[in-house]
Amino acid sequence: MPYLATAAKKSVTALSIKVELSVFPPELWEVDTVVTLKAKVTSNGNPLADRTVRFWLIARKTVAKLIGSATTDSEGIARLNWTVPFTIDGYTLPCYEHQVQAELYPEGVSSNVETVKVAYPTKISLSVPKTVIVGQYFTISGKLLYKSAKDTWSPLAGRTVNVYANDKLIKSVTTGSDGSFEVKHKFDAPGTYTIVANYLGEGLAARAAVLTARLLSPATSPLPQVIAGGLMLLAGVL
């Protein structure tokens, strides 16, 4: 049986869709704080509005976990603020390196990959006498803690704390099992001295606890403890 020839014709537009991801802060996230994920979606260089973007965390560079989604605005930008948890679906986040990626949904266009490390916050309490006597030893004491879970601070043992007086190193000490440290010191001249104790984290900068000691009269009661924070990545894990 003969068949006549036929044809069909339709136009197809090829779009060059690009998804650009940025994270803030970059590279290092502090657990239990808010970070911002931003994806810019363009088609042939023009912004795409009202499109759904899904943000993914590739935990330990192994398993993809959905962080959340957002819709692009008139500039083609989707933003998501996210509080970094201690765990996500059973995966511990602090002390590991992870990857973040955005995806235009349902088109399935993926963004660049950003790598971040998640660190524990740390803090130092510090105590010195209000006043001390020139030439007599006094005690500088404190405790180093890290935020091991939400609303939970635990002692950080076996770490080095540097103690300074007016920017001059007095001594570097190692914290005990309860995170405590202690230094004996004396001053040879009267005046007002600023005592600083800091823990540098592990490959990270940290803020320091600061107190002032005045050399005027015999030591009385200790100053109230003050708190300062830093960040910590456990060595040998990344």
Q: What is the mean pLDDT of residues 17-21?
A: 96
Judgement on whether residues 166 and 77 belong to the same structural domain of the protein: no
Mean pLDDT of the chain: 85
- Provide the residue type at 83 as one letter: T
Judgement on whether residues 125 and 35 belong to the same structural domain of the protein: no
Does some domain include residue 6? Answer: no
Which domain covers residue 168, as residue numbers? 121-232
Q: In angstroms, rounded to a whole number, what is the distance separating the alpha carbons of residues 49 and 52? A: 9
Is residue 205 over pLDDT 90?
A: no
Identify the sign of the CA torsion 39, 44, 50, 56: negative
End-of-domain residue from the set 61, 85, 119: 119
Model pLDDT for residues 125-151, shown as the tens digit of each residue: 899 988 999 999 999 999 999 988 888
Q: What is the mean pLDDT of residues 168-189?
A: 95
Does some domain include residue 106? Answer: yes
Neighbours of 97 (CB within 10 A): 15
Is residue 208 over pLDDT 70?
A: no
Judgement on whether residues 211 and 169 belong to the same structural domain of the protein: yes
Judgement on whether residues 84 and 164 belong to the same structural domain of the protein: no
Model pLDDT for residues 40-76, shown as the tens digit of each residue: 999 988 999 999 999 999 988 889 999 999 999 999 9
For the CA atoms of 223, 226, 230, 234, the dihedral, rounded to the nearest 10 degrees, stands at: 70
Judgement on whether residues 132 and 107 belong to the same structural domain of the protein: no
Position 95 confidence tier, pLDDT thresholds 50, 70, 90: confident
Judgement on whether residues 114 and 141 belong to the same structural domain of the protein: no
Percent of the chain with pLDDT over 90: 56
pLDDT of residue 62: 87
Q: Which two tokens stand for residue 49?
A: 């509005």
Structural domain tally of the chain?
2
Judgement on whether residues 22 and 36 belong to the same structural domain of the protein: yes
Does some domain include residue 172? Answer: yes
Is residue 212 over pLDDT 70?
A: no
Judgement on whether residues 130 and 61 belong to the same structural domain of the protein: no
Position 200 confidence tier, pLDDT thresholds 50, 70, 90: confident
Does some domain include residue 163? Answer: yes
Least confident of 5-9, 57-61, 88-92, 208-212: 208-212
235 secondary structure, DSSP code: T
Is residue 215 over pLDDT 60?
A: no
Neighbours of 75 (CB within 10 A): 11
CATH number, domain with residue 32 = 2.60.40.10
